[in-house]
Structure 1
Amino acid sequence: MAADQQPSARRWAEQIHDDLADFSRRIRAEGGSAKAGLSYVDFSLLSHVDGHPGARVTEVAAALRVDKSTASRQLTGLEARGLLVRHPDPERPRSHTLALSEQAATLLHGVRDEQVRAIEGRLRDWSEEDVQTFARLLHRYNRSDDA
C-alpha cells in the first residue's frame, strides 16, 4: 500500500509546488510590488526587517535562509536606495541593527495592502470555512519543520 501512496504523494507535492509558484507570481503581479520597484527578494528582506525591528544582518540571513554575504549585499543595495537604515548596535560595537526608512515603510505597507486586497478579491466567493481551512493549512505548512 505504501508503494501505491508514493506516486500519489509525489503528484500532490508537484501540484502544490506549481500552485505555490503561481500564487507567488500572482501576488507579485496583482499586489503592486513590481510597480513599486521591489523585487521578491527586496520585499522579503524589507518585510522581515519591518516585522523584526533592530534585526542584524545575520538574523535576517538566517530567517530567510540565505548566506550572510548574500543578505548583506542585498541589504546594502536597499540602504543605498534609501529604504533601509543601519544603526550602531549598542550591544555589539562591530555590528549594526536594521530599520526601515520612512520611505520604505510607506512603500512596503502600501504594497502589502494591495496584496491583501488582491487575495481578498480572489477569496470573495469562498465560504468562510474554506478561507479558514486554507489559511490554517498554509500556516501549518509554512511553520512545519524542514524535511
Structure 2
Amino acid sequence: MKIGLGSDHNAYDMKDSLKEYIQELGHEVVDYGSEDSCTEIDYPGVAFQVANDINETKIDRAILVCGTGIGMAIAAGKVPGIRAALCHDTYSAERAQKSNDAQVLTMGAKVIGIEPAKNVVKVYLDSEFPGGNSARKIQQITDKEQEYLKGATV
C-alpha cells in the first residue's frame, strides 16, 4: 500500500521512526509535514493535505502524528469523505479499519512510545474493512455528511 505519513514538529522523531518501520513492512511511504524537529509547522495544514490526497487516491491510507493525535484527527475528519481514528492501542487500531473503514490513523507522540506505536501501526495496516453490517453504518455517516454539505440541518 501507499501510506501517507505526516507530522508536525512535535512528532517529527516519531514520524521518522515510523517511516523506516512502515517501509520495512513493505509499504511505500509518502512523507508529509515537518522536515525536521526544529521548524515549527501547524498540524491542520498537514492533515488537510493528507486527507485531500486520500480523496484523490494519491495514497491509500495515512498515519498522522502530532503531540496528542487529537488535533490531527479533528483536522483530517473535517475533509469530506475522511474517517480519521485516534488510536493508542492495537484493539482500537484494528476496529478503526474493520468497523469504521478509517483511512487515517492518528497518534500522539507525547502519549505513546515508539514501540507501542509500531504495534498499533502494524495492526492498522494489516487490518482490512470487511463490509457487512459495518458498511451500512459507514453509509449512514456518508449520507449525513452529504446532507450537511448540501446545507441541511439536523
Q: Larger Rg: 1 or 2? A: 1
TM-score normalised by structure 2 residue count: 0.23
Question: In proportion to residue count, which structure has more strand?
Answer: 2
Q: Higher helix fraction: Structure 1 or Structure 2?
A: 1
